[in-house]
Protein backbone atom coordinates (compact mmCIF):
# COMPACT_ATOMS: atom_id res chain seq x y z
CA UNK A 1 0.00 0.00 0.00
CA UNK A 2 1.26 3.50 -0.78
CA UNK A 3 2.30 5.55 2.21
CA UNK A 4 0.13 8.48 1.13
CA UNK A 5 -2.54 9.79 3.43
CA UNK A 6 -5.95 8.56 2.29
CA UNK A 7 -7.17 12.09 1.58
CA UNK A 8 -6.68 12.02 -2.20
CA UNK A 9 -9.80 11.67 -4.31
CA UNK A 10 -9.81 10.00 -7.75
CA UNK A 11 -10.13 13.42 -9.40
CA UNK A 12 -7.17 14.79 -7.50
CA UNK A 13 -5.20 11.63 -8.35
CA UNK A 14 -5.97 12.11 -11.99
CA UNK A 15 -5.01 15.73 -11.97
CA UNK A 16 -1.76 14.87 -10.17
CA UNK A 17 -1.05 12.21 -12.79
CA UNK A 18 -1.68 14.66 -15.62
CA UNK A 19 0.58 17.17 -13.92
CA UNK A 20 3.40 14.70 -13.51
CA UNK A 21 3.16 13.54 -17.11
CA UNK A 22 3.07 17.08 -18.44
CA UNK A 23 6.01 18.16 -16.27
CA UNK A 24 8.04 15.20 -17.47
CA UNK A 25 7.18 15.88 -21.14
CA UNK A 26 8.09 19.53 -20.74
CA UNK A 27 11.37 18.70 -19.03
CA UNK A 28 12.28 16.31 -21.83
CA UNK A 29 11.16 18.28 -24.89
CA UNK A 30 10.61 21.97 -24.17
CA UNK A 31 14.21 22.94 -24.94
CA UNK A 32 14.29 20.91 -28.15
CA UNK A 33 14.05 23.07 -31.29
CA UNK A 34 10.55 22.65 -32.69
CA UNK A 35 9.73 20.39 -29.76
CA UNK A 36 5.96 20.84 -29.68
CA UNK A 37 5.08 17.64 -31.55
CA UNK A 38 7.35 15.37 -29.52
CA UNK A 39 6.03 17.03 -26.38
CA UNK A 40 2.39 16.43 -27.35
CA UNK A 41 3.19 12.86 -28.36
CA UNK A 42 4.86 12.24 -25.01
CA UNK A 43 1.72 13.38 -23.18
CA UNK A 44 -0.59 11.39 -25.40
CA UNK A 45 1.61 8.28 -25.21
CA UNK A 46 1.31 8.41 -21.43
CA UNK A 47 -2.33 9.43 -21.03
CA UNK A 48 -3.94 8.27 -24.25
CA UNK A 49 -5.13 11.79 -25.07
CA UNK A 50 -4.42 15.46 -24.48
CA UNK A 51 -6.48 16.65 -21.51
CA UNK A 52 -7.44 20.34 -21.76
CA UNK A 53 -5.83 21.17 -18.42
CA UNK A 54 -2.44 20.17 -19.88
CA UNK A 55 -2.46 22.75 -22.65
CA UNK A 56 -1.89 26.01 -20.77
CA UNK A 57 1.21 24.49 -19.20
CA UNK A 58 2.49 23.33 -22.57
CA UNK A 59 1.84 26.73 -24.09
CA UNK A 60 3.65 28.65 -21.38
CA UNK A 61 6.61 26.24 -21.35
CA UNK A 62 7.12 26.80 -25.08
CA UNK A 63 6.30 30.49 -25.03
CA UNK A 64 3.33 29.97 -27.31
CA UNK A 65 -0.22 31.19 -27.06
CA UNK A 66 -2.92 28.67 -26.25
CA UNK A 67 -4.39 29.35 -29.66
CA UNK A 68 -1.14 28.33 -31.31
CA UNK A 69 -0.99 25.07 -29.39
CA UNK A 70 -4.63 24.41 -30.17
CA UNK A 71 -3.96 25.18 -33.84
CA UNK A 72 -1.28 22.52 -33.97
CA UNK A 73 -3.34 19.93 -32.10
CA UNK A 74 -6.32 20.42 -34.37
CA UNK A 75 -4.22 20.15 -37.53
CA UNK A 76 -3.03 16.60 -36.94
CA UNK A 77 -5.37 13.61 -37.10
CA UNK A 78 -3.47 11.76 -34.37
CA UNK A 79 -3.99 14.12 -31.48
CA UNK A 80 -7.02 13.38 -29.32
CA UNK A 81 -8.89 15.96 -27.31
CA UNK A 82 -11.16 13.39 -25.70
CA UNK A 83 -10.22 10.07 -24.12
CA UNK A 84 -10.12 7.06 -26.46
CA UNK A 85 -11.92 3.80 -25.82
CA UNK A 86 -10.20 0.96 -24.01
CA UNK A 87 -9.37 -0.55 -27.37
CA UNK A 88 -8.43 1.56 -30.37
CA UNK A 89 -9.19 -0.04 -33.72
CA UNK A 90 -7.98 1.59 -36.92
CA UNK A 91 -9.20 0.28 -40.24
CA UNK A 92 -7.29 1.17 -43.36
CA UNK A 93 -9.46 2.77 -46.00
CA UNK A 94 -6.80 3.64 -48.55
CA UNK A 95 -6.81 2.38 -52.14
CA UNK A 96 -4.95 -0.89 -51.72
CA UNK A 97 -7.16 -1.98 -48.86
CA UNK A 98 -10.25 -0.85 -50.77
CA UNK A 99 -9.17 -3.14 -53.60
CA UNK A 100 -9.42 -5.97 -51.08
CA UNK A 101 -12.74 -5.09 -49.53
CA UNK A 102 -11.96 -2.68 -46.71
CA UNK A 103 -15.31 -0.93 -47.27
CA UNK A 104 -17.14 -4.12 -46.41
CA UNK A 105 -14.84 -4.60 -43.43
CA UNK A 106 -15.70 -1.12 -42.18
CA UNK A 107 -19.41 -1.88 -42.49
CA UNK A 108 -18.93 -5.16 -40.66
CA UNK A 109 -16.95 -3.46 -37.90
CA UNK A 110 -19.57 -0.76 -37.46
CA UNK A 111 -22.42 -3.23 -37.26
CA UNK A 112 -20.74 -5.77 -34.97
CA UNK A 113 -19.37 -3.15 -32.62
CA UNK A 114 -22.54 -1.08 -32.84
CA UNK A 115 -20.87 2.21 -33.62
CA UNK A 116 -19.93 4.61 -36.38
CA UNK A 117 -16.50 4.94 -37.92
CA UNK A 118 -14.64 7.83 -36.31
CA UNK A 119 -16.30 7.59 -32.91
CA UNK A 120 -15.77 6.19 -29.43
CA UNK A 121 -18.52 3.94 -28.15
CA UNK A 122 -20.47 5.51 -25.28
CA UNK A 123 -19.49 2.65 -22.94
CA UNK A 124 -15.84 3.50 -23.62
CA UNK A 125 -15.02 0.02 -24.88
CA UNK A 126 -13.89 0.90 -28.40
CA UNK A 127 -12.63 3.71 -30.56
CA UNK A 128 -13.05 2.92 -34.25
CA UNK A 129 -11.14 5.08 -36.70
CA UNK A 130 -10.22 5.24 -40.35
CA UNK A 131 -6.54 5.27 -41.24
CA UNK A 132 -4.96 5.99 -44.61
CA UNK A 133 -2.41 3.25 -45.24
CA UNK A 134 -0.58 1.23 -42.64
CA UNK A 135 2.26 0.26 -45.00
CA UNK A 136 0.92 -3.29 -45.18
CA UNK A 137 -0.63 -3.04 -48.62
CA UNK A 138 0.63 -6.39 -49.90
CA UNK A 139 -1.54 -7.97 -47.22
CA UNK A 140 -4.66 -5.83 -47.56
CA UNK A 141 -7.02 -5.27 -45.92
CA UNK A 142 -5.07 -4.20 -42.85
CA UNK A 143 -6.08 -2.94 -39.48
CA UNK A 144 -4.28 -1.80 -36.36
CA UNK A 145 -5.55 -2.76 -32.94
CA UNK A 146 -3.95 -1.01 -29.97
CA UNK A 147 -0.83 -0.38 -32.02
CA UNK A 148 -0.52 -3.93 -33.35
CA UNK A 149 -0.76 -4.43 -37.10
CA UNK A 150 -2.87 -7.20 -38.67
CA UNK A 151 -2.91 -8.16 -42.33
CA UNK A 152 -5.38 -10.05 -44.52
CA UNK A 153 -8.17 -9.26 -42.10
CA UNK A 154 -11.32 -11.18 -42.95
CA UNK A 155 -14.53 -10.63 -41.02
CA UNK A 156 -13.85 -13.78 -39.01
CA UNK A 157 -10.37 -12.57 -38.15
CA UNK A 158 -11.75 -9.20 -37.21
CA UNK A 159 -14.27 -10.80 -34.84
CA UNK A 160 -11.58 -12.98 -33.29
CA UNK A 161 -9.35 -9.96 -32.73
CA UNK A 162 -12.18 -8.06 -31.06
CA UNK A 163 -12.90 -10.99 -28.73
CA UNK A 164 -9.26 -11.42 -27.79
CA UNK A 165 -8.13 -10.12 -24.44
CA UNK A 166 -5.29 -7.71 -25.20
CA UNK A 167 -1.90 -9.22 -24.49
CA UNK A 168 -0.03 -7.69 -21.61
CA UNK A 169 3.48 -6.75 -22.75
Partner 1 sequence: MTTVVYVPRDAAARSLGADGVARAIAAEAARLGIDVRVVRNGSRGMLWMEPLVEVETEAGRVAYGPVARADVASLFAAGFLNGGEHPLRQGLTAQLPWLAGQDRLVFSRVGVIDPLSLADWRAHGGGAGLVAALGMSPAAIVDAVTQSGLRGRGGAGFPTGIKWKTVLDTPAAQKYIVCNADEGDSGTYSDRMLMEGDPYTLLEGMVIAGLAVGATKGYIYLRSEYPDCERVLLAALENARAGGLLGASVYGSGSAFDIVLRRGAGAYVCGEETALLESLEGKRGEVRFRPPVPAQVGLFGMPTALNNVVTLGSIPAILAEGPAAYQARGVGRSRGTLPFQLAGNIRHGGLVEVPFGVSLKTLIYEYGGGTASGRPLRAVQVGGPLGAFLPADALDIPLDYEAFVDRGAIVGHGGVVVFDDTVDMAKMARYAMEFCAVESCGKCTPCRIGSTRGVEVIDRILQGERRPQQVALLRDLCDTMTSASLCALGGMTAWPVLSALEHFPEDFGLGRPDHRTARSEGGT
Name which position in 21, 97, 109, 113 contacts partner 1 (CB under 8 A).
97
Residues 65-124 that bind ligand FES (CB under 6 A): 92, 94, 96-97
Q: Are 64 and 36 in contact (CB under 8 A)?
A: yes
> Does residue 165 belong to the site contacting partner 1 (CB under 8 A)?
no
Task: Report how far residue 129's alpha carbon sits from residue 118's, in angstroms, rounded to the nearest whole number.
Answer: 4
Phi-psi region of 152 (alpha: psi -120 to 50; beta: other; left: phi over 0): left
Is 67 a binding residue for partner 1 by CB under 8 A? The answer is no
Q: Is 101 left (phi over 0), alpha (psi -120 to 50) or beta?
A: left
Return the range that interacts with ligand FES (CB under 6 A); candidates 7-15, 58-66, 137-145, 153-161: 137-145
How far from each other are the two terminal CA atoms of the chain, in whole angstroms? 24
How many whole angstroms separate alpha carbon 149 and alpha carbon 21?
27
What is the nearest approach in angstroms of partner 1 to the Cβ of residue 126? 19
Binding partner of residue 151 among partner 1, ligand FES, none, CB under 5 to 8 Å per kind? partner 1
Q: How far is the CB of 94 from ligand FES (least distance, A)?
A: 4
How far apart CA 29 and CA 40 sit, in angstroms, is 9
Residue 136 binding ligand FES, by CB under 6 A: yes
The smaller minimum CB distance to partner 1, of residues 17 and 95, is found at 95
User: Interface with ligand FES includes 142 (CB under 6 A)?
Assistant: yes
Dihedrals phi, psi of 17, to nearest 5 degrees: -65, -45
| Strands 148-150 vs 87-92: parallel, antiparallel or unpaired | unpaired
The 119-148 site mask, x for binding partner 1 (CB under 8 A), equals ------------xxxxxxxxxx-x-x--xx
State the residues that interact with ligand FES by CB under 6 A.
92, 94, 96-97, 133-137, 140, 142
Amino acid sequence: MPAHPPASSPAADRSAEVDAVVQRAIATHAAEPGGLLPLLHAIQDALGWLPPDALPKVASALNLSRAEVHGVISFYHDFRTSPPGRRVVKICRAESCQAMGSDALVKHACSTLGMELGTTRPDGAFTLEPVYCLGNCALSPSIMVDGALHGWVTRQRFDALMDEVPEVE
